[in-house]
Amino acid sequence: MKVMIVGGAGFIGSAFVREANRRGMKPLVADLLTYAGRRENLVGTDHDFVRADVRSEDIHGLIKEFSPDVVVNFAAETHVDRSIYKPQEFVTTNVLGSVNLLEAARKFDFSYVHISTDEVYGEECGDENSPLRPSSPYSASKASADLFVKAYVRTYGIKSVIVRPSNNYGPRQFPEKLIPKVIIRTLLDTHVPIYGDGKTERDWIYVEDTAKVILDLVERGEMRGEVHNIPGGQRYSVVDVIKMVGEVMGKDVRVKFVNDRPGHDRRYCMTSKLRYTVTPIREGLRKTVEWYLENRWWWEPLTNDKFFLDDEPWRV
């Protein structure tokens, strides 16, 4: 199977490249290499690489030339704080970029696997048929793209599927996100800011588990516009997760409660019709902490980033 991975130099995309390699595939990775996309994430993997913007017509030429059976789209602006600070790129990359790939799917014969998020459901619990209630500019852009995927399946009959994972954690996640932020700031002996009361609940899944479930769907090949939720089934508050990371590290995590992020969803809690096993959170956290301890070279250059350093980085 010929697989093209757009956004494959990011956190989940690079885990997906590794999973594809484990199953004997050599994918083509197309990625713009924004702040979050790094060739370093792909060290040790077998892939072809091309630098490309998902929003550009060039991507159609690449698809024509490579002639993939499947295109998986991980390319996105992904950080909620950044979307509050400056939303525009979330619209161009997440919405227009996805529509650009949908346009390619009209012209060329491939299956389009669209990576969405549990955040599109907002804080109400539900399943794949629940209404979309996005709260942030990030989740609004993801929900918009999902609606375009559904429209293209219905109107043009393209082959596609929408995948909605919950909060991923694991190696190679950019330090702006909660778990790497806790690990790295604690290693650097600085406090960790907690938004609001820290009781917001997220459903945590180890990134390799997500990659496996998505590749299982790709291999199964049913592409009739279905939505597939991928929850981790392990719901913990921010405060609980920080406590667990501290226990795994054997260190006291210093926390500082700061103003809540505007529009902050209290929880995400979707169910799924898929059946799969997941890594228990303490085991996943142990692997994650070990990776950050062993790979300082990877994260040290990233520690001067505003969204890692500031306590309330969404403030303009």
Non-local (6+) Cβ contacts of 136 within 8 A are: 80, 83, 84, 119, 263, 265
How distant, in Å, are the alpha carbons of 180, 210, 268, 305 from that of 165? Answer: 19, 7, 11, 26
Q: Give the binding range for ligand NAD (CB under 6 A) out of 8-16, 20-28, 122-130, 150-158.
A: 8-16
Least separation in angstroms between residue 298's CB and ligand NAD is 13
**Interface stretch with ligand NAD, choices 164-172, 213-221, 274-282, 301-309 (CB under 6 A):** 164-172
Question: CB within 8 A of 234, min separation 6: which ones?
Answer: 203, 204, 205, 278, 280, 281
- To the nearest whole angstrom, how small is the minimum distance from the Cβ of residue 167 to ligand NAD? 5
Which segment (19-27, 33-41, 178-186, 261-269) binds ligand NAD by CB under 6 A? 33-41
Contact (CB, 8 A) for 208 and 216: no
- Asked if 170 touches ligand NAD (CB under 6 A), the answer is no
Which is nearest to 138 in space by CA: 254, 265, 24?
A: 265
Length of the chain: 316
- Interatomic CA distance for residues 273 and 42, integer angstroms: 31
Q: Tell whether residue 74 is a contact of ligand NAD (CB under 6 A).
A: yes
| Closer to ligand NAD by Cβ: residue 70 or 76 | 76
CA 215 to chain centre: 15
Question: Under the criterion CB under 6 A, does residue 21 sit at the interface with ligand NAD?
Answer: no
Q: What residues are labeled active site? A: 118-119, 138
Asked if 97 touches ligand NAD (CB under 6 A), the answer is yes
- Told to check if 193 binds ligand NAD by CB under 6 A, we report no
115: which DSSP letter?
A: E
Residue 313 contacts ligand NAD per CB under 6 A:
no
Q: Residue 37 or residue 193: which is nearer to ligand NAD going by CB?
A: 37
Interacting residue with ligand NAD among 53, 203, 208, 209 (CB under 6 A): 53
32 scored as a contact of ligand NAD (CB under 6 A): yes
Residues that bind ligand NAD (CB under 6 A): 7, 9-13, 31-34, 36-37, 53-55, 74-76, 78, 93, 97, 115, 117, 142, 165, 167-168, 174
